[in-house]
Amino acid sequence: MSAGVGVARQLVGRGRGPRAATAAPPVFAARGLSAGYGGAPVVRELDLQVRAGEVVVLLGPNGAGKTTTLLTLAGALPPKAGEVHWAGSPTTAPLHRRARDGMSLVPEDRSVIMSLTVRENLRVGRCDPELALATFPELAEHLDRKAGLLSGGQQQMVTLARALARRPAALLADELSLGLAPQVVTRLLTAVRAAADEGLAVLLVEQHVRSALTIADHVHVLRHGRLAWSGTAAEAEANRDAVASAYLPLA
């Protein structure tokens, strides 16, 4: 086990229990982070942190910098300025090393391998298949079906199950609900909340605002690459006008 995994799991242990993460140190954080592609940064001077046991939701209109933020925190993009902290220390490690050290990334496009069966997808992900099926037992009857034959919701269940069954310290998920029926969205977000209640640190980009708020601990709204509003989920519900002026109505 690498030092990163050990430290990250110690942080997870401190955050165990439903929404009891406020006293724990961050598992990962952005400190004055600026990031983007090519010339000018898309994200500017961003500060946020995610502790073990909590779900932090990142909202914002298209082009606000949400995906850029996730990719930079995950190590797929290098920062233009500022730092990414992992397990209490600055890191410049690439994506594959952060994955090895306990960070799971679920990108916006479903990352199943369509030509492989569900069982093979889980095996490729080097995850615990029993844990994957414990998270989504409805996948058991599809284990030997090719992922390309599954519905969009089932494919997203495979993607999320594989990410969670690696037993990561942190999950970064981009638009889990994209194009899916409301009942599937609820199923996915419920699984994310349950994993957080077991100590996982979660940063979630989500378009279903009201659904996201039901599982969130903290909310950040990005606009033009900067934080336009931050608060707890309860504060977001209580201050809909403030959040609406920063981004969009919560209805």
Contact (CB, 8 A) for 47 and 16: no
Q: Is the pLDDT of residue 250 over 70?
A: no
Q: What is the pTM of this model?
A: 0.88
| Of 11-25, 95-109, 160-174, minimum mean pLDDT range | 11-25
Percent of the chain topping pLDDT 90: 73
Q: What is the mean pLDDT of the chain?
A: 88
Does 85 reside within a domain?
A: yes
Q: What is the count of structural domains for the chain?
A: 1
Band of pLDDT at residue 120, cut at 50, 70 and 90:
very high
Predicted confidence band at 76 (pLDDT cuts at 50, 70, 90)?
Answer: very high
Which of 160, 165, 166 has its CA nearest to residue 190?
160
Rounded to whole angstroms, how far apart are CA atoms 28 and 99?
13
Q: Is residue 26 part of a domain?
A: yes
CATH of residue 235? 3.40.50.300
Domain residue limits at 26 = 3-246
- Rounded (5°) CA angle 131-116-194: 25
**Token reading at 132:** 């994957």
CB 45 within 8 A of CB 105: no
Least confident among 74-88, 119-133, 162-176: 119-133
pLDDT over threshold 50, residue 233:
yes
- 245 pLDDT band, cuts 50/70/90, is confident
**Mean pLDDT, residues 113-127:** 92
Q: Quick one: which H or E segment has residue 228?
A: strand 226-232
Q: Residue 251 domain-assigned?
A: no
- 155 pLDDT higher than 50: yes
